[in-house]
Structure 1
Amino acid sequence: MQQIPDVIRQIPLNNYVWFSTALFCIGIIGVLTRRNAIIIFMSVELMLNAANLLLAAFSSYKSDPTGQVFVFFIMAVAAAEVAVGLAIIVMIYRNIQSIDVGILNKLKW
């Protein structure tokens, strides 16, 4: 089993929780307030990274690699999301010449 470096042990787990919460809240605010699809996309990625940080911190403090395995799978899902999401955004831009989500109501029947 891998030993945790002393530098990580010196930072209280509470700091990781607060930092991850702040990142997640910034991501939620970005999703709810922005109209640009790229910014919304980056905000969703920020929320995923906040969850990854928290999983890695708990995994490190518990000396259990399960959280790090979950981080790996979340990163794989995020990579697939980036590929599909950017392809959708490029196709929307080609069709309506804008990535503003307010204009996307034109796609309704």
Structure 2
Amino acid sequence: MTNPMALVAPIGLTHFLLLGTALFCLGLYSVFIKRNAIALLMGIELMLNAVNVNLIAFNKFIAPASYTGQVFSIFVIVVAAAEVAVGLALVISIYRDRATTSVDDLDWLKW
């Protein structure tokens, strides 16, 4: 009787890079298509998480003895948290003023 796990190929760097690419493309699609400010922030978060996946994958497969990928990933998470805090504060402020979160209606700075 053969072991079924012996037939499964190991997960390599290519798999992680494909996952990161899929996440980044999904986030980019969300940023380009959605008209809601909250959905735009969620798309940006998906793109930042794709970067985190790639950083950790490169660290694991290129230099497993160092922690540079994890450190950079922590910095990206901190920047993402700050972006969400500032972004949501702006969205709430704009919603109170304009009663909408649609980015098409945010045109008060146009001539």
TM-score (norm. length: structure 2): 0.86
**Which one is further off, 59-68 or 82-91?**
59-68
Task: Identify the residue that residue 56 of structure 1 maps to in structure 2.
Answer: 56
User: 2:30 matched to which residue of 1?
Assistant: 30
Distance 1:78 1:106 in 2: 27
1:38 to partner: Cα distance: 0.3
Unpaired segments ≥5 residues, structure 1: 1-9
**Paired residues for 1:14-25 under 5 Å:** 14-25=14-25
SS across alignment from 1:73: helix
Aligned-residue CA RMSD (Å): 1.0
Distance apart, 1:84 and its partner CA: 0.5
**For residues 89 and 23 of structure 1, what CA distance do their matches in structure 2 show?**
24
Could you tell me the percent identity over the aligned residues?
A: 49
Larger radius of gyration: 2
**Cα offset for 1:37?**
0.4
Runs (4 or more) in structure 1 with deviation over 3 Å come to: none
Paired amino acid for 1:59? N
> Is residue 93 of structure 2 the alignment partner of residue 88 of structure 1?
no
User: TM-score, structure 1 length as denominator?
Assistant: 0.88
Distance 2:73 2:51 in 1: 8
May I ask how many residue pairs the two structures share in their alignment? 100
Matched residue SS, 1:102: helix
Alignment-mate amino acid for residue 17 of structure 1 = L
Return 5+ residue gaps in structure 2 as ranges: 1-9
> How many angstroms does 1:83 deviate by?
0.6
Instruction: Give the deviation of 1:21 after TM superposition.
Output: 0.3
